[in-house]
């Protein structure tokens, strides 16, 4: 082996954890290799958070423009999305971030970038094309991809996943979305606002079934109000094609339950990119869902190999992947002990209005048997929401009746994705809810009503 191909650190995958870790090691003088087979920045930058939220921003402008008269503003003429321009805007933002990341890695001293598919040859050796790289420490950050389950008839259909829909520069006449969870719902509202007819098909009895029922029901009302068709309890989904149209059979028997659309998006979960890594040659163990098994500090069963980000099954978000980088860097470089179990679950659903979530759901607290108190406030009773003409949704918070610590919260309403974080910070501080209650907040904001909600706590 060429001596130049011996590294202190090899990072596989330039997603949300790998690049920062590679640069951190390189900056302390370690010889680092980072290998990326496709696009720098991985899912989030290229086919996930950044492009989807950029498209959502365009869709929101169309929506606000259509509502202009409600605010006394006159806009003459139809409001239409120019999808070619919408896509160019999205591509510009994505390309700048992805190429900026690639340049950052290439310009970092001690860091060598390899382009190609990486595979283990043995526990210390990685093959990239014809090259063999040896690493003392190896970090896997290979992420996940859209799951395409074997649905009957799928082979007949040209369908989109979250990746391929990013290339669309037209308005589908009728977009059918299979999957009524986070990704499916964001695309549903976005395309409805661009001008498509949209139908969401979900197997469960409610949308986003991991959320509390009141959250699911309110989200359903919000989407119905925008004219989105929602079909729940889809018992048996089968696909067919007729004259270039997509037919989705909802119970495989009764043709009255068929839906005909122009295009189909599959938004039914994600699978880890761990099948083609040669993990068996390194002796690295996976679980039954193909996630790489790791401990609380993200070390695999092989002592010199770690797995970060979505491929370890400990989080499915950009912020959890980045936090994995922080945990590994703290433990291996900065001499601070950080663990995955210190993390509080938090995320947003970027609908309009958004849902911000932190900690446990009401249902989880109820089933845990913890003595708890609940506060809830509709957005109709929040002046800022009234001023902005966005009174859909509510916020709720659950606190431990004995310790007074916050167990969980949901803010489904204007600004919910930002507001939740003021609650999250108090949860990290392990402070009692009375800290928020006694703080003076800015008027008129949504956050100023959190103390009022806390004054009205009732036993769960
Ligand atoms: C439509 C959509 C919207 C989303 N929105 C949000 C959001 O708003 N907020 C949020 O927090 N999360 C969001 N997510 C989730 C988020 O994008 C992912 O959780 C995050 O990108 C995971 O990061 P990662 O570092 O684990 O992997 P990734 O970002 O997927 O990166 C993995 C990288 O590894 C590379 N790779 C894989 N195998 C190999 C190999 N063998 N050799 C070399 N390279 C390899 C891949 O090409 C990829 O670049 C969204 C996801 C989708 C699909």
pLDDT 10s digits, 219-245: 999 999 999 999 999 888 899 999 999
Spacing, Cα 358 to ligand 1 middle (Å):
22
Spacing, Cα 73 to ligand 1 middle (Å):
41
Q: Do domains 3-145+271-342 and 346-459 have the same CATH topology?
A: no
Architecture, CATH, for domain 154-268: 3-Layer(bba) Sandwich (3.50)
CA distances from 279 to 77, 282, 285, 295, 342 (A): 58, 5, 7, 17, 28
Backbone angles phi, psi at 195, to 5 degrees: 125, 0
Q: Rounded mean pLDDT of 5-30?
A: 98
Q: Which atom of ligand 1 is nearest to the CA of 146?
A: 53
Which pLDDT score is estimated for 252?
67
* pLDDT(253) > 70: no
Q: Rounded mean pLDDT of 305-321?
A: 98
Q: Rounded mean pLDDT of 378-392?
A: 98
Of 131, 269, 317, the residue with max ligand 1 atoms within 8 A of its CB, to mutate for a pocket test, comes to 317
Give the β-pairing of 144-146 and 159-160. Answer: unpaired
d(CA 423, CA 358): 8
* pLDDT(385) > 80: yes
- If one counts every other C-beta atom within 10 angstroms of the C-beta of residue 295, the result is 11
Structure tokens at 281: 């040659």
Which pLDDT score is estimated for 236?
82
* pLDDT(1) > 60: no
Question: What are the extents of the domains in the chain?
Answer: 3-145+271-342, 154-268, 346-459
The H or E element spanning position 373 is: strand 372-378
Spacing, Cα 310 to ligand 1 middle (Å):
7
Look-up of token digits 């009764």:
254
Rg from Cα positions in the chain? 24
Q: Is the beta carbon of 408 within 6 A of some atom in ligand 1?
A: no
Q: Rounded mean pLDDT of 35-61?
A: 98
Which pLDDT score is estimated for 3?
55
Q: Rounded mean pLDDT of 299-311?
A: 98
* pLDDT(255) > 90: no
Q: Which atom of ligand 1 is nearest to the CA of 316?
A: 19
Outline where 210-287 has alpha helix (H).
Answer: 213-225, 279-282
Q: With beta carbons less than 8 A apart as the criterion, state whether 177 and 188 touch.
A: yes
Q: Rounded mean pLDDT of 252-264?
A: 83
Q: Rounded mean pLDDT of 415-437?
A: 98
Atom 47 of ligand 1, nearest CA residue: 38
Confidence of residue 18 (pLDDT cuts 50, 70, 90): very high
Spacing, Cα 144 to ligand 1 middle (Å):
6
Q: What is the rounded end-to-end Cα distance, in angstroms, of the chain?
A: 65
Q: Is the beta carbon of 321 within 6 A of some atom in ligand 1?
A: yes
Structure tokens at 278: 């040669």
Confidence of residue 457 (pLDDT cuts 50, 70, 90): very high
The pTM for the full model equals 0.97
d(CA 348, CA 320): 13
Q: Is the beta carbon of 17 within 6 A of some atom in ligand 1?
A: yes
Of 17, 318, 352, 355, the residue with max ligand 1 atoms within 8 A of its CB, to mutate for a pocket test, comes to 318
Which pLDDT score is estimated for 250?
85
On whether the 346-459 domain is CATH 3.40.50.300, my answer is: no
Q: Rounded mean pLDDT of 392-421?
A: 98
Of 18, 33, 142, the residue with max ligand 1 atoms within 8 A of its CB, to mutate for a pocket test, comes to 142
In sequence order, what are the residues at sequence separation of 6 or more whose Cβ sits closer than 8 angstroms to the Cβ of residue 20?
322, 325, 329
Query: Which CATH superfamily is 3-145+271-342 part of?
Result: FAD/NAD(P)-binding domain (3.50.50.60)
Q: Is the dihedral of CA 29, 34, 39, 44 positive or negative?
A: negative
Give the β-pairing of 270-272 and 245-249. Answer: unpaired
d(CA 365, CA 212): 11
Percent of the chain residues topping a pLDDT of 70:
98
Which pLDDT score is estimated for 235?
80
d(CA 133, CA 155): 39
Task: Give helix then strand counts, H and E, for the chain.
Answer: 13, 23
CA distances from 59 to 184, 380, 393, 455 (A): 15, 24, 20, 37
Spacing, Cα 199 to ligand 1 middle (Å):
26
Q: Is the beta carbon of 312 within 6 A of some atom in ligand 1?
A: no
Which pLDDT score is estimated for 15?
97
Q: Is the beta carbon of 42 within 6 A of some atom in ligand 1?
A: yes
d(CA 225, CA 434): 37
Report pLDDT digits (tens) over 57-100: 999 999 999 999 999 999 988 999 999 999 999 999 999 999 99
Catalytic residue numbers read 443
Beta-ladder partners of 146: 270
Q: Rounded mean pLDDT of 194-198?
A: 98
Q: Rounded mean pLDDT of 122-132?
A: 97
- Of the candidates 438, 377, 427, 380, the residue with the CA atom closest to the CA atom of residue 403: 427
Lowest mean pLDDT among 43-57, 200-214, 239-253: 239-253
Confidence of residue 34 (pLDDT cuts 50, 70, 90): very high
Spacing, Cα 452 to ligand 1 middle (Å):
39
Give the β-pairing of 372-378 and 394-400. Answer: antiparallel
Q: With beta carbons less than 8 A apart as the criterion, state whether 107 and 40 touch.
A: no
Atom 37 of ligand 1, nearest CA residue: 142
Q: Which atom of ligand 1 is nearest to the CA of 13?
A: 34
Mean predicted lDDT score pLDDT of the chain = 96
């Amino acid at each position: 082996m060429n001596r130049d191909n011996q590294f202190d650190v090899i990072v596989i995958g330039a997603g949300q954890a790998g690049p920062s870790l590679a640069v951190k090691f390189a900056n302390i003088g370690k010889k680092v290799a980072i290998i990326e087979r496709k696009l720098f920045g991985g899912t989030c930058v290229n086919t996930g958070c950044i492009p989807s939220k950029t498209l959502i921003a365009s869709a929101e402008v169309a929506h606000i423009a259509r509502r202009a008269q409600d605010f006394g503003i006159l806009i003459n003429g139809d409001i239409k999305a120019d999808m070619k321009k919408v896509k160019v805007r999205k591509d510009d933002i994505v390309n700048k971030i992805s190429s900026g990341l690639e340049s950052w890695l290439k310009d970092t001293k001690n860091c060598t970038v390899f382009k190609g598919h990486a595979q283990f040859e043995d526990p210390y050796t990685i093959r990239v094309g014809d090259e063999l790289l040896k690493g003392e420490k190896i970090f896997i950050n290979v992420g996940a991809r859209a799951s395409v389950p074997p649905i009957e008839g799928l082979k007949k259909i040209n369908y989109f996943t979250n990746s391929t829909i990013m290339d669309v520069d037209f308005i589908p006449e009728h977009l059918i979305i299979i999957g009524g969870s986070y990704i499916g719902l964001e695309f549903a509202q976005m395309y409805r606002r661009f001008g498509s007819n949209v139908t969401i098909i979900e197997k469960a009895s409610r949308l986003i079934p991991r959320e509390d029922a009141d959250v699911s029901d309110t989200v359903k009302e919000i989407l119905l109000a925008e004219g989105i068709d929602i079909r729940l309890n889809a018992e048996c989904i089968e696909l067919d094609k007729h004259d270039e149209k997509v037919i989705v059979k909802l119970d495989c028997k009764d043709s009255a339950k068929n839906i005909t659309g122009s295009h189909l998006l599959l938004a039914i979960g994600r699978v880890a990119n761990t099948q083609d890594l040669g993990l068996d040659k390194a002796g690295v163990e996976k679980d039954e869902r193909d996630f790489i098994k790791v401990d609380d500090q993200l070390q695999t069963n092989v002592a010199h190999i770690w797995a970060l980000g979505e491929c370890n099954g400990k989080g499915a978000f950009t912020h959890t992947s980045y936090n994995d980088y922080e945990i590994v860097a703290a433990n291996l470089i900065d001499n601070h002990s950080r663990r995955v179990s210190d993390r509080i679950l938090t995320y947003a659903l970027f609908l309009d209005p958004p849902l911000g979530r932190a900690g446990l759901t009401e249902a989880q607290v109820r089933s845990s048997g913890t003595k708890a108190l609940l506060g809830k406030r509709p957005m109709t009773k929040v002046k800022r929401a009234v001023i902005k003409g966005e009174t859909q949704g509510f916020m709720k918070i659950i606190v431990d009746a004995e310790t007074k610590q916050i167990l969980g919260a949901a803010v489904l309403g204007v600004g919910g994705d930002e507001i939740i974080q003021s609650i999250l910070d108090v949860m990290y501080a392990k402070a009692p809810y009375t800290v928020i209650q006694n703080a003076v907040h800015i008027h008129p904001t949504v956050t100023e009503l959190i103390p009022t909600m806390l004054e009205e706590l009732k036993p769960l």
